[in-house]
């Protein structure tokens, strides 16, 4: 133990040294190494030069007296424990010094080795714990977290600076107040488990501010116990988590909403649905789920651009929202698909009412880029509690019903019905099979001859596609063409048809048959393909088929519905030198006057008006059409001719060409070739 002894009286100093030695020998202190000086000035010089564990100072020295003595030593070595020595009559002053920071005092003449040893040891220890306390107090004060200390009854005892910064409360305002309370009573609004004896708690709480508002905090509370394990205090530290909460909320919003429209997304929809369904189960009422698909969205997106498409979706979302109650959910599922969940319905009809409203508002024009754009909607509805009791089922069924609404002309709504399910299952398998059919070369063409009723033999053939399905056999086009069109597969398949037919026509010529006109059917989707004329030109060049031998058949409805586009596309096709035929004429709302607008070469009278030519009225119509075609310099073909009577009638009316089972069914190319020779006799 290194001791600085400041004592001007040599006798007193000697006595202390002896007592120290004695204390050491009795094992009360470690070996004393004493530096003795006789004044404060000398003491300070020593302190500067060396480290000491403790200072023993006499209070009356030649260069200082009393409190001043202590203070000067203390300033020289603030971390050094100090024990003062004083005479009998100075005891009051010694106590003063202890209050000012000295660790202990001794009264001269009353000191023995035991008392001295104990005083030194305690002084050192006391200084150490004082240091620690000072450190803790500083940490408490500078902490960024708000900290409060309460007594065992959770009444506030003290707070730190951060507490004041965060809450606006000063210590005087909160001292004695409860830490917790309902509403405004306490600082924190949260019932805490300490009441049931817990020693530690952490979690979110609401903290009240002096101005009256409140904010969320993360609160950490620890009980402080005394030696016998009784809680004497609680220390609560908290940090402001307002920003964190805001971010959290934002993230939650993003995860649950569609960014474009701000509507709930599929995830939130499923949540809401679960909720609505649970309620329906309890109250025994219905929930309707609607799937809504915009009918012409893709067209708008493609022609006006994505920005306009986005705007349209936002407007559509807004209109949808306007069709339902506050409590109902409107969600965007992606693309142009929306879903609506209607809760606590009394009947199906309630859902139908909303569906009608939706069709109505969606049918109104949308103002986009100074244009009025029209898109309609197709709506599928499934009722929970009626159609299904499983959530995933309801969604799927609404989807199926929506698909049927689309298939049956769009701009309408359909309730789910069980037979739809079967149909859509079939469709799904069919679609998968169809996608593979082209590469697996499962499509085949059959050819049906068209003959001159006047005896001129075969003029041409029509190529008709079939699907040689591994299980179902030869599938007729009506069963898969619509699906090819829906999926867009009709484009590559249609091209395959044209190429194969052209090749066949050339092959027959090479075999020595007369040049035959090859008629090929084209779907609406193909006509919309920008590069159709180029593709056709390519096929002609590639196969070597003379353009005037290729006749492209388009139905009346295709041409009429897309009048402007059709005129342009047909013009470009005509420029290649190919022929254009109007198929199935007489089935739709045929406008004869309108025909003049289209660059067509051939009119194909639909089987419907041929079948009954034996009846006077239909005969008159068919006759008139043939005459008109002749006047317009169009060639005429009668389709679906099955009887000799029909044939005779058509010959009398001078129809240019006849096609039908009476002459021949559509046949495979080999079979057809064999037929060629004999036909001349049969017809002639
Ligand atoms: P379509 O172009 O009007 O073809 C005539 C249809 O009438 C053919 O049916 C043919 O087999 C049938 N038919 C011919 N003669 C008679 C008859 O005397 N009586 C009756 N009842 N029917 C007769 P198919 O082959 O089933 O084709 C149906 C439709 O499928 C075609 O009508 C056409 O619109 C479409 N189609 C066929 N092949 C293709 C193709 O390659 N591409 C496109 N886009 N459509 C095609
Ligand atoms: Mg046809
Ligand atoms: Mg036809």
Same domain, 175 and 42: no
Nearest CA to ligand 1 atom 25: 464
The helix (run of H) or strand (run of E) holding residue 605 is strand 602-605
The reply to whether 636 and 664 lie within a common domain is: yes
* 422 domain residue, yes or no: no
Question: Once rounded to an integer, what is the mean pLDDT over residues 403-429?
Answer: 80
- Indicate if the pLDDT at residue 657 is higher than 90: yes
490 CA closest ligand 1 atom index: 44
Say yes or no: 194 and 88 in one domain: no
Distance 464 CA to ligand 1 centre (A): 6
Cα angle vertex 310, ends 306, 314, to 5°?
170
639 assigned to some structural domain? yes
Residues 150 and 133 in one domain: no
List the 329-334 sheet strands across, edge first.
329-334, 337-345, 286-294, 377-384, 413-415
Task: Give pLDDT, residue 419.
Answer: 76
How does pLDDT run across 260-278, given as a tens digit for each residue?
999 999 989 988 988 888 8
Across the range 506-524, mean pLDDT stands at 93
615 C-beta neighbours (distance < 10 Å), count = 9
Ligand 1 centroid to 458 CA: how many Å?
Answer: 18
Beta-bridge partner residues of 224: 233
In this structure, the answer to whether residues 604 and 513 fall within a common structural domain is yes
Single out the residue in 416, 439, 467 at which a domain terminates: 416
Model pLDDT for residues 476-500, shown as the tens digit of each residue: 998 899 889 888 899 999 999 999 9
Residues 466 and 387 both lie in one domain? no
pLDDT digits (tens, 9 = 90+) for 607-645: 887 877 777 667 777 888 888 889 889 999 999 999 999
Q: Are 533 and 570 in contact (CB under 8 A)?
A: no
Instruction: Give the model's pLDDT for residue 354.
Output: 95
Q: How far is the CA of 491 from the centre of ligand 2 (A)?
A: 17
Find the 503 Cα to ligand 1 centroid distance in Å: 20
Looking at ligand 1, which residue's alpha carbon is closest to its atom 11?
666
Q: Please list, in sequence order, all residues whose beta carbon lies within 8 angstroms of the beta carbon of residue 290, skipping any fewer than 6 positions away.
A: 339, 340, 341, 342, 351, 354, 355, 358, 379, 380, 381, 398, 402, 413
Task: Give the CATH number of the domain where residue 157 resides.
Answer: 3.30.450.20
Query: Which pLDDT does position 197 carry in this prediction?
Result: 60
Q: CB under 6 Å to ligand 1: residues?
A: 448, 464-465, 476-478, 481, 494, 497, 521-523, 553, 583-584, 607, 639-642, 659-661, 666
Query: Could you tell me if 523 and 667 lie in one domain?
Result: yes
Coil, helix or strand for 284? coil
Same domain, yes or no: 97 and 136: yes
Tell me which residues have their CB within 5 A of the ion that is ligand 2.
521, 553, 583
Residue located nearest, by CA, to atom 34 of ligand 1:
521
CB-based burial of residue 669 (10 Å sphere; 0-12 exposed, 13-18 middle, 19+ buried)?
middle
Q: What is the CATH number of the domain that holds 452?
A: 3.20.20.450
320 Cβ contact partners less than 8 Å away, ≥ 6 residues apart: 292, 330, 338, 340, 358, 361, 362
Is 204 within a domain?
A: yes
* Least confident stretch, 240-249, 387-396, 485-494: 387-396
Q: What CATH number is attached to the domain comprising 279?
A: 3.30.70.270
In a domain, 344, yes or no: yes
323 and 187 in one domain?
no
Q: Looking up tokens 């020295």, which residue turns up?
A: 61
Comparing CA positions, the residue from 619, 660, 623 lying closest to residue 643 is 660
157 neighbors 142 (Cβ within 8 angstroms): no
Label residue 149 by pLDDT band (50, 70, 90).
very high
Q: What is the pLDDT of residue 395?
A: 87
Do 241 and 314 lie in one domain? The reply is no
Which of 354, 483, 501 lies closest to 431 in space, CA to CA? 483
Q: What pTM was estimated for this model as a whole?
A: 0.49
Is there a domain that residue 652 lies in?
yes
Please state the domain count of the chain: 4
Last residue of a domain, one of 416, 451, 476: 416
| Dist. CA 488–CA 260, nearest whole Å | 28
Cα–ligand 1 centroid distance for 585 (angstroms): 13
Contacts with 106 (C-beta within 8 Å, 6 or more apart), sequence order: 56, 83, 84, 85, 86, 115, 116, 119
Does the pLDDT of residue 681 top 50, yes or no? no
465: CA distance to ligand 1 center in Å? Answer: 8
| Domain extent at residue 47 | 2-140
- Residue to substitute in 447, 465, 468, 477 for testing ligand 1 pocket (most ligand atoms within 8 angstroms of CB): 477
Nearest CA to ligand 1 atom 41: 465
Does residue 112 sit in the same domain as residue 187? no
Looking at the structure, do residues 63 and 174 belong to the same domain, yes or no? Answer: no
Residues, CB-to-ion distance under 5 Å, ligand 3: 583-584, 639
- Ligand 1 center to residue 309 CA distance, Å? 38
- The atom of ligand 1 lying closest to the CA of 662 is 18
User: Which of 87, 110, 140 represents a domain boundary (last residue)?
Assistant: 140
Q: For residue 520, is it within any domain?
A: yes
Residue whose CA lies nearest to ligand 1 atom number 43: 521
**Per-residue confidence (pLDDT) for residue 388, from 0 to 100:** 58
């Amino acid at each position: 133990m290194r001791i600085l002894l400041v004592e001007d009286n040599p006798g007193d100093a000697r006595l202390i040294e002896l007592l120290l030695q004695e204390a050491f020998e009795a094992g009360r202190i470690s070996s004393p190494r004493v530096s003795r000086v006789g004044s404060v000035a000398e003491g300070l010089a020593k302190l500067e030069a060396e480290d000491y564990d403790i200072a023993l100072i006499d209070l009356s020295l030649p260069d200082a007296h009393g409190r001043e003595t202590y203070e000067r030593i203390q300033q020289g070595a603030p971390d050094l424990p100090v024990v003062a020595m004083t005479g009998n009559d100075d005891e009051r002053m010694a106590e003063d010094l202890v209050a000012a920071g000295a660790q202990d005092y001794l009264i001269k003449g009353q000191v023995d080795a035991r008392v001295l040893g104990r005083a030194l040891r305690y002084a050192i220890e006391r200084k150490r714990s004082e240091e620690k306390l000072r450190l803790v107090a500083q940490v408490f004060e500078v902490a960024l977290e708000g900290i409060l200390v309460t007594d065992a009854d959770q009444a506030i005892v003290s707070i730190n600076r951060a507490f004041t910064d965060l809450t606006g409360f000063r210590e005087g305002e909160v001292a004695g107040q409860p830490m917790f309370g309902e509403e405004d009573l306490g600082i924190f609004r949260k019932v805490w488990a300490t009441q049931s004896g817990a020693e530690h708690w952490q979690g979110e709480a609401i903290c009240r501010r002096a101005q009256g508002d409140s904010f969320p905090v993360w609160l950490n509370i620890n009980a402080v116990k005394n030696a016998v394990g009784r809680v004497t205090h609680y220390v609560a530290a908290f940090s402001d988590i307002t920003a964190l909460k805001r971010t959290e909320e934002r993230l939650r919003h993003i995860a649950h909403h569609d960014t474009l429209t701000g509507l709930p997304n599929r995830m939130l929809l499923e949540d809401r649905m679960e909720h609505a369904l649970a309620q329906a189960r309890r109250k025994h009422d219905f929930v309707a789920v609607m799937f809504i698909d915009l009918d012409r969205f893709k067209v708008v997106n493609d022609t006006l651009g994505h920005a306009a498409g986005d705007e349209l979706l936002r407007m559509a979302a807004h209109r949808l929202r306007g069709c339902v109650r506050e409590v109902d959910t409107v969600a965007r599922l992606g693309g142009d698909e929306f879903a609506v969940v209607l809760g606590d319905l009394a009947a199906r009809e309630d859902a139908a009412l909303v569906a009608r409203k939706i069709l109505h508002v969606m049918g109104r024009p949308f103002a986009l880029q100074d244009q009025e754009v029209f898109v309609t909607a197709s709506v599928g509805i499934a009722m929970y509690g009626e159609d299904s009791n499983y959530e995933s089922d309801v969604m799927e069924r609404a989807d199926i019903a929506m698909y049927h609404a689309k298939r049956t002309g769009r701009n309408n709504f359909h309730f789910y019905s069980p037979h739809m399910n079967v149909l859509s299952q079939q469709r799904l398998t069919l679609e998968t099979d169809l996608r593979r059919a082209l590469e697996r070369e499962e499509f085949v063409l059959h050819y049906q001859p068209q003959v001159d009723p006047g005896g001129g033999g075969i003029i041409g053939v029509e190529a008709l596609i079939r699907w040689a399905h591994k299980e179902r056999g030869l599938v007729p086009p009506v069963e898969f063409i619509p699906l090819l069109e829906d999926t867009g597969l009709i484009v590559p398949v249609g091209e395959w048809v044209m190429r194969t037919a052209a090749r066949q026509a050339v092959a027959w010529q090479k075999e020595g048959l007369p040049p035959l006109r090859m008629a090929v059917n084209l779907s609406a989707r193909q006509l919309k393909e920008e590069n159709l004329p180029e593709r056709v030109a390519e096929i002609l060049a590639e196969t070597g088929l003379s353009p005037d031998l290729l006749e492209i058949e388009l139905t009346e409805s295709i041409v009429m519905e897309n009048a402007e586009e059709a005129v342009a596309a047909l013009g470009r096709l005509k420029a290649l030198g190919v022929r254009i035929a109007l198929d199935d004429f007489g089935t739709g709302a045929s406008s004869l006057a309108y025909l003049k607008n289209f660059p067509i070469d051939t009119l194909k009278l639909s089987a419907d008006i041929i079948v009954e030519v034996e009846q006077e009225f239909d005969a008159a119509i068919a006759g008139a059409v043939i005459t008109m075609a002749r006047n317009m310099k169009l060639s005429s073909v009668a389709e679906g001719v099955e009887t000799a009577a029909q044939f005779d009638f058509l010959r009398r009316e001078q129809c240019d060409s006849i096609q039908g089972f009476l002459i021949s069914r559509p046949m495979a190319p080999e079979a057809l070739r064999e037929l060629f020779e004999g036909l001349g006799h049969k017809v002639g």
